[in-house]
Structure 1
Amino acid sequence: MAELKRTPLYESHKKHGGKLVDFAGWELPIQYEGISGEHEAVRNHVGIFDVSHMGEVEIKGQDATAFVQNLVTNDIGVLADFQILYTLMCYPHGGIVDDLLVYKYHKNHYLLVINAGNIQKDLDWIFKNREGYNVDISDISSITAEMALQGPKAEELLQRLADVDLSQIGFFYFNEKVNIEGAECLVSRTGYTGEDGFEIYLKNEDAEKVWDAIMKAGGDLGIKAAGLGARDTLRFEANLPLYGNEMTEDITPLEAGLGYFVKLNKDHFIGKDALVKQKAEGLTRKIVGFEMEDKGIPRHGYDVLDGDKKIGFVTTGYLSPTLKKAIGLAMVEIKYAELGTTIEILLRNKPSKGKVVSRKFYTKQYKK
């Protein structure tokens, strides 16, 4: 069995009592004091996450814009310098390679932020499709630490340590030169929780001192270190998809409900033809939200039923810490996707009643 990788914040996690688990080959905290407390800290105050396991890939060169435009489904042509875009990479058949953020420095320089479990797969895909483009591709994942500071008090806290006016960083924009505790950081107003906040990219050697400074400066604001468990419950409530759950190589962006991030009017991108065809023919299945009417908590992979017939599967399910009820996302046959439709989830071999509802379980609190 391969040895687990560790982020530069491994010792900090041990110091704060993190319960460490194997996540995509990384030894990371699933929780510290408890998932619900960490979840509530982010919703009401501020929480900090180690996301150094994420991948970072730089694309530079005179064809950088054309190259990235061909790789992704969204239109990077709309980006201003220092703006960020959420998008997907697809295979020619329309299935999803990964979802990612594209950071634009300028037309010849982009940063792609990709999922930890997909780093090598994504890199192979990016290099495979570089032919004909004058670009340099650099995987800087191993030398880059990343942390996410999330919650309504995130700006107030980080402003105590940063040397720039953070209110000037708009939603999905970034500043590449923010000094925090003597470390030069890239700071973006982004996150994966549905709350306002920032993601901070910095050198590995600076990570621990910046983490400690943030924890110390946020003591009176109710800061908590938060683990992977709260990260998942937070993103799920805010209807933010997770690769491996709502997205796979067998699920297209249209089926995943991510059509907004697919610009079929672009000249070309990998997977466009398949997605144009799927849209024209109409979907046969899609991901919906649901809430349980019977007792029980749905989990990833559970069957969705109509009587004796399997009509789909749960992609994510939880007892929502904010809403205090069992909710989920599920891929179902299209005729069961209407709001209000009754479905059944197979919980421990027992069908339990649920109802299709809006996926907007929680209203996002982003600062626009």
Structure 2
Amino acid sequence: MYAEADIPTDVQRALTSFLDIQQERLAEIGPELAELVQAARDATSGGKRLRPSFCYSGFRAAGGDTDQPILKAAASLEMLHVSALVHDDVMDSSDVRRGAPAAHRRFEALQRARTEASGRGGDPVGFGVGAAILLGDLCLIWADEMLHTSGFDAAALARSSKFFDAVRVEVTAGQYLDLVAQASGEADMDRALRVLRYKAATYTVERPLHIGAALGGAGQHLIDALSSYGLPLGEAFQLRDDLLGVFGDPTVTGKPAGDDLREGKRTVLTAYAVDHASEVQLGEFDRLFGRPDLDDDEVQLLREILQDSRAVQACEDLITDKTEDALAALDRAPIDDETARKALADLAVAATSRHL
């Protein structure tokens, strides 16, 4: 039986082995494609591995036999995550991801170097965006292939596929809701909560649990119980992530401090602030929020508005309440494996108690 601490290592091993195979396949098409594979290797290195961990724990909760290839199946969710991150960074024009250049900036730099060396070539910015979109598409395709070549039998794959299909639809729909929210220029709490659910909660916690549990042969009663645990926990996770996006340490988050303020992220945090800020604060917020050229003093002013409007405290209270709801649901869940139950309790802490 796998120890929980082995999950990141085994997921990385599965990703590396899979990409080794893809590199051989793409080399037959052309040597240029080595750049895509290397970008995928770098993008799938590191990270919290929360989605594979929830998938694995769902499998364990269903009584799955860990002699089965659950780690490769779980690793498919990390490949899916990379696809979403690459596309998200393009849409947000983000420069950094996990402390390194975002994929489109990486490809832009490659093309710029080639252009400078040869004295000719296409637009580096356009090349970077196009290449990143293709990388994200490729990782989405590879995620499906990883799951379906993981080694589970056809019946198990059929059970899990409906949840794997659902998570891909839901995260794309949530991403579009997020795009609409940014384009509207308005703070809408209802929309922010829907983005919270479909771009984060179902995608990060609930569906990975469902996929693992389905591979382990779970019945509907356990699937429903895992939803009762996974949805509030996923929402708490994203609320914490939104706070970190504004107040977090860049050495921990891997992104510049205040980037979400420069990008104009319409989150529950900012929606609450707009609803509760004073008229003077709201004027300052509208003047600064979403400006890409914010300096450190302006970022700090926006942070103070978020704090003074009690938006930060409201999100902290929501995190506490939703985490407690998740743990209460876990206590009621029909899980016989106490190791799996403890792993899910530990994951609840890991997902929500990251410090600002």
Using structure 2 for the length normalisation, give the TM-score: 0.30
Structure that is richer in helix per residue = 2
Using structure 1 for the length normalisation, give the TM-score: 0.29
Structure that is richer in strand per residue = 1
